[in-house]
Amino acid sequence: MSPPSEIESGDDFAARLAAPTATPGGGAAAARVALFAVSLVRMVAGITLAKLSSDEPHREFERILKTGEALDDGMRQLERDDMAAFEDYLTALRLPRATADERAARQSARQQAALRCAEVPFALLQSIVETESAAGQLRALGQQVRLRAASDLPVAEALAEAAFQAAQHTLEANLGELQPEIAEQFRSQSGQLAARRGR
């Protein structure tokens, strides 16, 4: 039997996503889909590595697996971070605002929480681009060796595409409360990431 996951099972997550609560929401769902994408990349790389002969490129597949493991850890954390960031934002909204000092403290807390709500999906976009890069490296290696479970590689890429779009929507939705110049920086940087993907 597999050890229990550090994040909830897919069935539990889907039930929580469907529940009438603020979290988890779209950002956490995007991170979960991205996790599925990198998991399939790791699967294809791992199965292929196990079948390679001694004269085939083991190191390249090992490097992809190492990258995939780091991305896996990061996406799990980003899923948690997304929920925590929005909970912090909701907490800021509930702060008292009867006096000028209270209103100033509440506004500061809102701004800090809103910034974090943008930082998390932006970090997810970066991780998804890395996942797509790893998938591309696998495709290139497939010109040299036979990839095992190769039909799952385009599925990984499709999941990564969906996760990227979802993370973009989440980021844009969370920029409204930021200072315009900060929001524009996020838009510019996310546009650069999109351009790197060449799509």
Does residue 1 lie within any of the structural domains? Answer: no
pTM of the model: 0.92
How many domains does one find in the chain? 1
Side chain identity at residue 93, one-letter code: L
Could you list the residue range(s) of the whole structural domain that residue 107 is in? 22-197
Q: What is the pLDDT of residue 6?
A: 52
- Dihedral through CA 179, CA 24, CA 68, CA 5, nearest 10? 150
Would you say residue 4 lies in a domain? no
Over range 164-171, report the average pLDDT: 98
Per-residue pLDDT of 60-111, as tens digits, reads 999 999 999 999 999 999 999 999 999 999 999 999 999 999 999 999 999 9
Taking only the tens place, the pLDDT of each residue in 38-55 is 999 999 999 999 999 988
Is 15 domain-assigned? Answer: no
DSSP run (H or E) holding 177? none
Is 87 within 8 Å of 23 (Cβ atoms)?
Answer: yes
187 assigned to some structural domain: yes
- Token pair for 108: 């500061």
Here the tokens at position 75 are 């996406």
Residue 17 lies inside a defined structural domain of this protein: no
Reference 50, options 65, 29, 69; nearest CA is 65
- Which pLDDT value is given to residue 197? 87
Residue 131: closest CA among 45, 51, 191: 45
What is the CATH number for 128? 1.20.120.680
Average pLDDT, the chain: 93
Q: Assess if residue 10 is contained within a domain.
A: no
Q: Write down the pLDDT at residue 2.
A: 37
